[in-house]
Amino acid sequence: MKALLSFLSITLLMSFLLIGCVPEIKNGNKSDMRIEGVQEADTKEDFQAIVVNKDETSVTVSTKGQKYILVTREIDYAAEAGDKVKVWTTGQYEESNPIQGEAIKIEIIN
């Protein structure tokens, strides 16, 4: 009987500990979860920039003295270094220098 009571007590204690480790989800929306080292912004936000460098999986852009390295795995774009572009991102940026994130659309501006 003592063994069963001990087992149930330990199980209950572990349940409370695990529940305390789960991130809070507000209104059933997982986008409210915060990840350490990631800064969130509005996902509809876009900005204009100049392409500094481009490779197969990322593009580096500069705007108003701020540089961004953006992953471009899932998108197709024709911009090259020196082009002025409009950039849409996921709105999540790593706190680094230069700022790192993911582009969802890149369009050349004439």
What structural domains does the chain harbor?
39-108 (2.40.50.140)
Q: What is the pLDDT of residues 52-89, one digit of tens each?
A: 999 999 999 999 889 999 999 889 899 999 999 999 99
Angstrom CA distances, 63 to 17, 74, 81, 99, 107, stand at: 45, 23, 14, 11, 15
What is the pTM assigned to this prediction? 0.59
81-101 CB burial, b ≥16 within 10 A, e <16: eebebebbbebebeeeeeebb
The pairing of strands 38-40 and 58-63 is: unpaired
Two tokens, residue 43: 């996902």
